[in-house]
């Protein structure tokens, strides 16, 4: 097995490359974090999804209440017809 040596200049160059790569990755992760989870002057994706989910929940609730009312009214109407015709 042969020993490998590296010069100080090569070592500095490798460290500089690694530092630039690490800083780039860190910046990209920070930007992703800001876009997904924080409202820094712009609405984040999480906030948009939450608002859409809440609006959908309200619309489902309104539809359920309206549908239940229509069903009860239809049953009452049929009941009155049956009682009226049956007499």
Query: Rounded CA gap, 80 and 24, in Å?
Result: 74
Whether 56 contacts 48, CB under 8 Å? no
Whether 36 contacts 44, CB under 8 Å? yes
**Which pLDDT score, from 0 to 100, does residue 24 have?**
92
**pTM attached to this predicted model:** 0.53
| Residue 87 pLDDT > 60 | no
Whether 44 contacts 35, CB under 8 Å? yes
Span 14-42, pLDDT tens digits: 899 999 999 999 999 988 887 777 776 77
């Amino acid at each position: 097995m042969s020993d490998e040596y590296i010069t100080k200049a090569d070592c500095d160059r490798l460290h500089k490359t690694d530092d630039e790569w690490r800083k780039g990755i860190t910046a990209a992760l920070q930007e992703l974090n800001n876009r997904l989870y924080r409202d820094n002057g712009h609405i984040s994706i999480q906030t948009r999804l939450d608002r859409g989910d809440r609006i959908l929940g309200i619309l489902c609730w309104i539809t359920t209440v309206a549908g239940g009312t229509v069903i009860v009214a239809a049953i009452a109407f049929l009941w009155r017809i049956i009682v009226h015709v049956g007499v």
